Amino acid sequence: MTPVSQETQHQSKKQGVKDESKTVQKKAQETSSAAPPDSRSAELLIGIPGSRDGVKKIQRNVPADEPPQLPPNSELKVIGKRVPRYDGALKVSGAAKYPSDIHLPGMLYARFVNATVPHAKIISVDTSAAEKHPGVKAVHVLQDVLGQAELQDKAKEVPSRYPIVRYAGQPIAAVAATTPAGALEAARLVKVQYEPKPFVVERAKAREPNAPLVFPGPAAEKATAGGGGGASDVPQKGNVRGPNRGRHDAGPKGDVEKGFAGSAAIVEAEYRTQVQTHSALETHGLVADWKPDGLTVYASTQGTMSVRDELAEIFNLPKTKVRVFTEYMGGGFGAKFGASNPGAVAAHLSKKAGAPVRMFCDRKEEQWGTGNRPDAHMYVKAGASKDGTLQALKWISYGTAGVGTGAGSAGPAQNMYDCPNLLVEEYDVFTNAGPGAAMRAPGHPQGVFGLEQTIDALAEKVGMDVLEFMDKNDRSPERREERRIGAEKFGWAQKRRKPNSDPGPVKRGVGVAQAVWYRINSMDSGCEVRIHQDGSVEALSAVQDIGGGIKTVIAEIVAEELGLQPRDITVRVGDTSMPPGPPSGGSMTTTSITPAVRNAAFKAKGRFVKEVASAWRVPAASLRVADGNVSSDSGKSVSFKQAAGAMKTETVSATAMRSPEYGKRDMIFLGGVQFAEVAVDTETGVIRVERVVAVHDCGRPMNILGLESQVNGGILQAISYALFEDRRLDQNTGIMVNPNMEEYKIIGAKDMPQIEVHFIEDYLARSSTDAGGIGEPAKIPGAAAVANAVYNATGVRMYELPMTPARVLTALGKVKQGGIA
Amino acid sequence: MSKHKSSPPDNSHGFSRRSFLKGAGVAATGTAVLNSGLLGQASETHSNVIGPDATSIALNINGSVKHVPVEPRTTLAEALRHELHLTGTKIVCDRGSCSACTVMLDGMPVNSCTTFALDAVDRKITTIEGLGDPEHLHPLQAAFVEHDGMQCGYCTPGMVMSCAALLERNPNPAAADVQQAISGNICRCGTYPKVVEAVLATARSRKGA
């Protein structure tokens, strides 16, 4: 897991969230307590309503031009309610045009030529037959392969005219033709001659001393938004890169051996998780339209600006000459930052052909090489004193991100519990497999699978209820309240029995697991709000809506500020010609953009009021904008629309950027607690998850309806990860055997449990909205909660994902290890 | 996680892909097709062979007849998206395992990515665009919006079509019926719970109406 800092600034190629933490912490120390001239001191609400400590007041410096803190959600009209999705009607009717739906006049269709071997030097690429194929307008042979680690010292590798093939499916060339079928036919005519090299696709084998080398020397990969990519400056030996030890203020501390010596109970185990692919329904790709006056692309991305920046860099264009549109996009989950290979190739082809080019991966290509959650092999040892106080935690993990980096899993071990003695070592293992990418809480579902089973086992060993054990060792006020609410809603006290309590073949059990994630703020977040003379209002930002519903939240904020309804606001996002927007990764979108939106709406309202006051010849301070009306102290009241008609100018507008978090800039975490109930059929090995209760925090909740959807999704993706999904590579050929959507099994509607989602309100006094994200924390605890429930049901612990019937039966001793797959 | 969908009967309309491809059956099947008025220009050239190049066929889509050039290998999903720009129908797995491409043929849900365009001749094709437009949503579509039965929205058209077909054959489904009906519709965002809510709410409101 890559370090994630609290605040990030846009970087040229991809948004780095990595190396910023030190800078942020340094800056935080420099923050003085006296209010600088452009700020004011304000008394702000802080805390969780209804919790043990309740809501208090705190004095913090706030930028002078920002609006007063919003009252709690219960006093608001729109924010925090259940607001239907802004673009729902367009999505349900098929009218929403996704990047893959874009059709430009004269548009060509492109296809990749992919490597058929996992490791090779390319001797030749013969495109002559493809070029002559009817309808083919351009052919491009890749000079660089994006989105994977690079050999640091090129001299260590035998010179090659073409990029070295390091995994089966790696793109080599591409063709553009007038029809999709023509492009596919032509791609098949490209002849590639390989000089094969030895390869290794299994993590354990890649660690062996004489394993084939994926890279002949140290290799590294740039970090991406949301925590993808590996740490820099770590040693590499053979295919093994590491150790990476800790980060932030949560690195190694104390002396674990002393801690274990002083422990009354110790648990020690190895846990393994598999590779999970993102499997977004819309594949990676875009439509690129190269014209003399610039490049326009319609990209399926989580970061319009990072696509722009990467293309500008590759083609040496000023940022003003690359415009990226992402009005809709069909899912990302962390793998869609930057232009990546399809984007770069489409732009090359469009430039060559002089026509727009549509380049979208097919499902196989999507599964082979566009990203995945790395696997993990975690060695965990933890000790506690007799009274259940955590004494020591040791975490050593190996993971493979294929030809990428960032397979750490120690984030939760470092940040969830208070532990005086902590040692973590993370190692990346290179294999000849498609590169990993940030995937919804990188490192954390795997880390929590190991950590929360360890905590469950340790609590049992000291004879404590696991919730009591958590209360003792977890300092997060959010999770404390979430455990309390969750236990009550779930019926924990009644349902939690001794392990293996059911006498029959179908055994029921319950388990709990927790999330920890980081409140990440991208300072590259801006918004413009315009109020027009006809009373219509629009909000504009380059930010993209990846399905999390940020369009709806933007409409809510502007409506709340202007006393209107969300439907009164037109939201235009996903266009890099607008004020900058954050990448949608690491649960940072809402945290980052919402204060900019509110601040812009507040400023625009000020200008609007001035205009109306001038027309009405009353002081601006005597006007109020609320409930769809503008009214004055003198008793005059007209609709917002009528009032806008009195403006002398066509439009008043204001733009605002995100300001730094209020107060001392220390790391703030997001929590979340999930309870699961399972039924395990001990004769077939089938696990059914019957019920999940989730309680989460995300600062000030903005839209309960949309938040519920995201948490549902996190839970279902986690159950899918726990029980079904598994990318499989054939060790003899290095080729993925299930690059599809049926053998790569994704949870369906019949496997979903009954789900109940609750939110706490968590006022942080950190921004003008105090809102935060939910995408990552929602995904983190599910698999671990299910595993703990399986243990509670059967008395047998599952140490490996996915928990297939074969593995369950093996664990139960009903079949021999290795007897079945 | 499999889904039972009725595949279109091969020859119930006097016109099959096999005979079309062979060309030998042109005399017999061609007559039927010409009588139906649905085959365009190419069939009038009296050629013995149709394909492999594109041939114009007529498809009855959302209540109107559209002429569209297709090759024998062209799937209905490809014809809808690439030729007619009816892009509500999505191609996701392109092999019948995710149902994002679901359309109705004579009221039955089918995967249009594994249905040849030629097999849809003489059938009534309903796509998501034909169910309701943003200004005039079908009650089921409106319920999807109200209950947030979507996130990124890419599976949504296929999901709506599967549910619309369910409500046609079973106006009073239980939750388990909805889960069965959408068991082949993969949603990576995990919207299944809200989809089930939306369908049950639609059924309830129809009952009340």
Q: Which positions in chain B touch A714 (Cβ < 8 Å)?
A: 190
**What is the C-alpha separation between B157 and A93, in angstroms, rounded?**
7
Q: Which residues of B touch A88 (CB under 8 A)?
A: 144-145, 148, 150
Q: How far apart are CA A676 and CA A788, in angstroms?
A: 8
Phi, psi of B67 (to 5 degrees): -90, 130
pLDDT of res. A166: 98
Among A721, A754, A727, residue whose Cα is nearest residue A743: A727
Is A820 a residue whose pLDDT tops 60?
Answer: no
Q: Please indicate whether, in this complex, the C-beta atoms of A103 and B178 are within 8 angstroms of each other.
A: no
At position A279, the amino acid (one-letter code) is: S
A92: chain B residues, CB-CB within 8 Å: 128, 137, 141-142, 144-145, 149-150, 153, 156-157, 160
Contact A478/B at CB under 8 A: no
Average pLDDT in the B83-105 region?
A: 98
Q: In this model, does residue A728 exceed pLDDT 50?
A: yes
Whose CA is closest to A590, among A79, A99, A197, A161? Answer: A79
The CA-atom distances, in angstroms, between A259 and each of A262, A268, A382, A411, A597 are 5, 14, 9, 20, 49
In three state form, how does the secondary structure of A258-293 look?
HHHHCCCEEEEEEEEECCEECCCCCCCEEEEEEECC
Give the pLDDT confidence of A32-57 residue by residue, as tens digits: 456 677 999 999 999 999 999 999 99
**CATH class of segment(s) B132-208:** mainly alpha
The percentage of residues in chain B with a pLDDT greater than 90, rounded to a whole number, is 72
Q: Are A774 and A702 in contact (CB under 8 A)?
A: no
Q: How far apart are CA A35 and CA A32, in angstroms?
A: 8
- Going from the C-alpha of A337 to that of each of A306, A319, A492, A584, the distances in angstroms are 6, 17, 41, 9
Q: Residue ranges per domain, chain A?
A: 476-518+667-821, 520-657
Rounded CA Rg of chain A: 27
Q: How confident is the model at residue A819 (pLDDT cuts 50, 70, 90)?
A: low
User: Which amino acid would we find at residue B98?
Assistant: C
- Residue A32 has a pLDDT of 43
Contacts of A322 (CB under 8 A, 6+ apart): A294, A295, A296, A297, A308, A311, A312, A315, A576
Confidence at residue A411, expressed as pLDDT on a 0 to 100 scale: 94
Contact at 8 Å (CB) between A751 and A786? no
Asked if the domains at A476-518+667-821 and A520-657 fall in one CATH topology, the answer is yes
On the question of pLDDT at A488 being above 90, the answer is yes
The pLDDT-based confidence of B48 (bands split at 50, 70, 90) is: low
DSSP H stretches of helix in chain B: 17-22, 26-36, 76-78, 128-131, 139-147, 156-169, 175-181, 192-208
Instruction: Examine the pLDDT at A212 and tell me if it is beyond 70.
Output: yes
Residue B207: pLDDT over 50:
yes
Q: How far are the Cα atoms of A85, A585, A594 from residue A556, in angstroms, in the given order?
A: 10, 21, 10
Domain with CATH 1.10.150.120 in chain B: 132-208
Per-residue pLDDT tens over the stretch A624-640: 999 999 999 999 999 99
Q: How far apart are CA A65 and CA A605, in angstroms?
A: 13
Span of A1-15, A165-179, A204-218, A505-519 with lowest mean pLDDT: A1-15
Name the average pLDDT for chain A.
94
Tell me the nearest-neighbour CA distance from B32 into chain A, angstroms.
Answer: 30
pLDDT of A506 above 80: yes
Tell me whether residues A362 and B180 touch, CB distance under 8 A: no
Q: What does the pLDDT average to over A390-412? A: 96
Residue type for position A804: T
How far apart are the CA of B146 and the nearest CA of chain A, in angstroms?
A: 6
Using pLDDT thresholds of 50, 70 and 90, give the confidence band for residue B208: confident
List, as ranges, residues 360-419 from A with C-beta within 8 Å of B. 362-363
CATH number corresponding to A476-518+667-821: 3.30.365.10
Residues of A in contact with B186 (CB under 8 A): 281, 741, 746, 748
If you average pLDDT over residues A359-388, what whole number do you get?
A: 98
How many residue contacts between A and B have a Cβ separation below 8 Å? 186
Quote the Cα angle for A147-A336-A232, to 5°: 45
**Percent of chain A whose pLDDT exceeds 70:** 94
Q: Distance between CA B49 and CA B51 in Å, rounded? A: 6
Q: What does the buried/exposed string (b/e) look like for B10-32 if buried means 16 or more CB atoms within 10 Å of the residue's CB?
A: eeebebbbebbbeeeebeebbeb
Pinpoint the residues of chain B covered by CATH 3.10.20.30: 17-130
In this complex, which of B93, B98, B191 lies closest to A712 when CB atoms are compared? B191
Which pLDDT band, with edges at 50, 70 and 90, does A391 fall under?
Answer: very high
Encoding tokens for residue A82? 């259940």
* A347 Cβ under 8 Å from any chain B Cβ: no
Of A91, A546, A748, the CB nearest to B150: A91
pLDDT at A36: 73
Measured distance CA(A671)–CA(A777) in Å, rounded: 7
Of residues A31 and A378, the one with the higher pLDDT is: A378
Residue B190 has its nearest CB partner, among A89, A181, A712, at A712
CA distance A673 to A476: 11
Question: What is the architecture, at CATH level 2, of domain A520-657?
Answer: 2-Layer Sandwich (3.30)
For chain A, first and last CA: distance in Å? Answer: 29
Q: Is the confidence at residue A232, as pLDDT, over 90? A: no
Q: How many residues are listed for chain B in this entry?
A: 209
Residue of chain B with shortest Cα separation from A704: B148
Element (H, E) at A601: helix A589-616
- Min Cα distance A303 → chain B (Å) is 15
pLDDT at B164 over 90: yes
What is the Cα–Cα distance from A496 to A789, expressed in whole angstroms? Answer: 9
CATH of B17-130, one of 3.10.20.30, 3.40.190.10, 3.50.50.60, 3.30.420.10: 3.10.20.30
Q: Alpha carbon of A343 to those of A305, A337, A359, A432, B175: distances in Å?
A: 13, 11, 7, 23, 42
Q: Is the pLDDT of residue A14 over 50?
A: no
Angle at A696 between CA A694 and CA A698, to 5 degrees: 155
Residues 83-102 of B with CB under 8 A from A: 85-90, 92-95, 97-98, 100
Distance from CA of B81 to the nearest CA of A (A): 8
Residue A96 in contact with partner chain B when CB distance is under 8 A: yes
Q: Which helix (H) or strand (E) holds A490?
A: helix A477-490
